């Protein structure tokens, strides 16, 4: 594993200590799917540690197993071999410690913004006044004040995704899992939401695992980037992202940014070419 561009896992900006016990530990995970067309090995003997407060971004060719890995961490599915540990305990099902955000917002269309954000808190039986106050705080954090009583079908895609983020944050998960959350958005909305997520990360320091196909998105957001191999997915490379915080899109103009981007691109490109060979059976 080449980490030559990466200086160290500890940065003054994020205060993450390399030798702290991992928040999440993926240990020798293999995932085989069986279908009518036979078996697909999506992940093979994949191991990965994620530290508390890290913003880990996973990139890799289409079909290399990124969503499969995230689903195992979320407890939506279980590994064929190996295990996923959260705070040292095996993940055996969905847990409130992990909040998931999908590309397709997953909002309740019959509930207002306020009711969507309050939903998890209501499930936890939080008293009404407390949950209203909490929801208002996170609606404000994502810049949606004034839209509390609006229904999702009156919101743009970017606004819907902000509701999803507010809903997840309101539940105060220790870990946020995001599967290509901004992929369906136009470029400008996407940049606004990326910068908003960076601000949220800088303020709240959640442990975040984020999947994307965009190297620019990975570099803007992450504290570490993992490139996965072509299927069956394993870790091809890990790169510590030492671009400074507070971070915004201007970071893309720096020499360091271009250096990291070139490095990640060469790794991703090699894996994309391999995945094309897998698909065409060469």
Interface with ligand ATP includes 64 (CB under 6 A)?
yes
Residue 117 CA to residue 156 CA, distance in Å, equals 17
Other residues' Cβ atoms within 10 Å of the Cβ of residue 259: 11
d(CA 268, CA 282): 19
Q: Nearest approach, Cβ of 63 to ligand ATP (angstroms)?
A: 4
Q: Which stretch binds ligand ATP (CB under 6 A): 64-72, 79-87, 89-97, 198-206?
A: 64-72
**Interacting residues of 269 by C-beta distance below 8 A, sequence separation 6+:** none
- Tokens (6 digits) for 12: 């003054």
Decide: is 6 part of the binding site for ligand ATP (CB under 6 A).
no
103 is an interface residue for ligand ATP by CB under 6 A: no
Among 9, 24, 26, 42, binds ligand ATP (CB under 6 A): 42
Interacting residue with ligand ATP among 11, 27, 63, 111 (CB under 6 A): 63
Q: 84: which 2 tokens?
A: 């996923």
Contacting residues for 140 by C-beta, under 8 A, at least 6 apart: none
Contact between 267 and ligand ATP per CB under 6 A:
no
| Stretch touching ligand ATP by CB under 6 A, among 49-57, 60-68, 199-207, 263-271 | 60-68
Shortest separation between residue 207's beta carbon and ligand ATP, angstroms: 20
**Span from 56-64, 89-97, 123-131, 239-247 in contact with ligand ATP (CB under 6 A):** 56-64
Part in contact with ligand ATP (CB under 6 A); list of ranges 65-73, 109-117, 241-249, 265-273: 65-73
Between 42 and 141, name the residue whose CB sits nearer to ligand ATP: 42
Q: Please report whether residue 68 would count as binding ligand ATP according to CB under 6 A.
A: yes
Q: Is 66 in the site for ligand ATP (CB under 6 A)?
A: yes
Applying CB under 6 A, which part among 5-13, 18-26, 59-67, 118-126 lies near ligand ATP? 59-67
Q: Is 212 in the site for ligand ATP (CB under 6 A)?
A: no
List of residues contacting ligand ATP (CB under 6 A): 33, 35, 40, 42, 60, 62-68, 231
């Amino acid at each position: 594993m080449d980490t030559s561009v990466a200086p160290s896992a500890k940065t003054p900006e994020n205060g993450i200590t390399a030798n702290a016990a991992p928040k999440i530990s993926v240990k020798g995970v293999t995932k085989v799917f069986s279908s009518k067309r036979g078996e697909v090995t999506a992940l093979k003997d994949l191991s990965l540690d994620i530290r508390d407060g890290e913003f880990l971004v996973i990139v890799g060719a289409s079909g290399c197993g990124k969503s499969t890995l995230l689903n195992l961490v979320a407890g939506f599915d279980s590994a064929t071999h190996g295990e996923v540990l959260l705070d040292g305990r095996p993940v055996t099902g969905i847990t409130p410690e992990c909040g998931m955000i999908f590309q397709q917002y997953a909002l309740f269309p019959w509930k207002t913004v306020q009711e969507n954000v309050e939903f998890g808190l209501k499930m936890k039986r939080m008293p009404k006044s407390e949950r209203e106050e909490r929801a208002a705080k996170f609606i404000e954090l994502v810049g949606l004040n004034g839209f509390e009583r609006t229904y999702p079908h009156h919101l743009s895609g970017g606004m819907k995704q902000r509701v999803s983020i507010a809903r997840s944050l309101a539940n105060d998960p220790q870990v946020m899992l995001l599967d290509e959350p901004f992929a369906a958005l136009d470029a400008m909305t996407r940049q606004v939401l990326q910068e908003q997520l960076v601000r949220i990360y800088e303020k709240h320091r959640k442990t975040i695992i984020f999947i994307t196909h965009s190297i620019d998105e990975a570099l803007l957001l992450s504290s570490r980037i993992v490139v996965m191999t072509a299927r069956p997915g394993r870790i091809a490379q890990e790169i510590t992202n030492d671009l400074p915080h507070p971070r915004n899109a201007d970071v893309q103009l720096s020499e360091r940014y271009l250096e990291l981007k070139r490095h990640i691109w060469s790794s991703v490109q090699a894996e994309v070419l391999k995945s094309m060979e897998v698909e065409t059976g060469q």
